[in-house]
Copies of this chain bind each other. A is one copy, B any other.
Amino acid sequence: MYPKQISIYEVGPRDGLQNEAQLGLEAKVQLINGLSACGLKRIEAGSFVSPKWVPQMADSTAVLQQIERQQNVTYSALTPNLSGFEQAIAAHVNEVAVFTAASESFCQRNINCSIAESLRRFDTIFVAAKAANIKVRAYVSCVLGCPYEGAINIEQVAAVSQALIDMGAYQVSLGDTIGVGTPQNARQMLDAVSQRIAPQQLALHFHDTYGQALANILACLDSGISTIDSAVAGLGGCPYARGASGNLATEDLLYMLHGLGIETGVDLQQLANVGHKICQQLGKRSSSKVSQALMN
């Protein structure tokens, strides 16, 4: 049985744009306003990491100040540490997100510490977030494979996810960061994590690098999962394979879900227009096949 509804977690303005050419403040603000106008209710709007590492996100405070807030929309930001969390709160985010990995090697290379140390660093964020009554979302990357280690033990994915839930995360987003999963191992991974965590507290964040994201999602759709991450126009590319795809395009996801009779509350044609515009501004071709088809 497919679910009646799926909540889309739109990551284009953060996970997407952080891997694109630098975009101006106004274009970012317009993008986020365009996304909320399409009916998206959860939008990752920015990131408070060091601008040395991610210059594309250096203006996240200004972005969050200038967007037209919609009352029923959750605007979130990535916060790697307490300093980032405080900036995010000052910018009036509705929730924050922390980021670790199921792969030790990836964690080391990406955030320069062990998985255990990454969790310890989040402690102060969880404490401060609880005091501020701010929800914390957690990303676990490399759940279906790692660019450095290859296959990842699904028990490791489950253990890291559970640690984050135990610390206070309201949802863990399971990231197939390099898009190497296929339907059966995606489902096996989800089932292993669901042994410990209710599926309503999990999200799928499957990249489309090998074109498998929709099939992998389909294989997981009757598991009780209720949130899926995607990026308008498939923004972001894949930092581990230049020219390859990264984030699943929200348009392509919506097309499948709506075809299955699943409600998302998002207007696909309007979203395709938003994706078309941002791709024009970036001077790139949309990674969304639905967009390419609809724009003809």
**A interface residue numbers (CB < 8 A to B):** 2, 179, 181-185, 208-212, 214-215, 217-219, 238, 240-245, 249, 252, 255-256, 258-261, 288-290, 292-293, 295-296
Residues from chain B with Cβ under 8 Å of A212 in the complex: 214, 252, 255-256, 259
Residues from chain B with Cβ under 8 Å of A243 in the complex: 292, 295-296
CB distance from A51 to the nearest CB of B (A): 27
Residues from chain B with Cβ under 8 Å of A185 in the complex: 259
Nearest B residue to A243, CB-CB: B292
Cα distance A255–B242 when bound, in Å?
19
Copy tally for this chain in the complex stands at: 2
User: Closest 10 A-B residue pairs measured CB to CB?
Assistant: A182-B259, A211-B289, A241-B296, A211-B252, A214-B215, A244-B293, A244-B292, A215-B218, A215-B215, A241-B293
* Residue pair A211, B244 in contact (C-beta under 8 Å): no
Nearest B residue to A240, CB-CB: B296
A242-B296, A256-B215, A296-B243 are known contacts. Are A289 and B183 too (CB-CB below 8 A)? no
Residues from chain B with Cβ under 8 Å of A288 in the complex: 211
* Residue pair A210, B244 in contact (C-beta under 8 Å): no
Nearest B residue to A285, CB-CB: B243
A183-B218, A219-B218, A296-B243 are known contacts. Are A211 and B259 too (CB-CB below 8 A)? no
Cα distance A253–B277 when bound, in Å?
31
Nearest B residue to A288, CB-CB: B211
CB distance from A67 to the nearest CB of B (A): 29
A215-B215, A218-B219, A244-B289 are known contacts. Are A210 and B255 too (CB-CB below 8 A)? yes
CB distance from A283 to the nearest CB of B (A): 16
- The 8 Å CB contact of A210, one of B219, B241, B290, is B290
Residues from chain B with Cβ under 8 Å of A244 in the complex: 289, 292-293, 296
Residues from chain B with Cβ under 8 Å of A218 in the complex: 183, 215, 218-219
- Between A183, A209, A215, A242, the greatest number of chain B beta carbons within 10 A of the residue's beta carbon is seen for A215
* Residue pair B210, A289 in contact (C-beta under 8 Å): yes
Cα distance A295–B245 when bound, in Å?
13
* Residue pair A238, B293 in contact (C-beta under 8 Å): yes
Cα distance A245–B210 when bound, in Å?
15
Residues from chain B with Cβ under 8 Å of A217 in the complex: 215
Cα distance A244–B251 when bound, in Å?
14
Nearest B residue to A214, CB-CB: B215
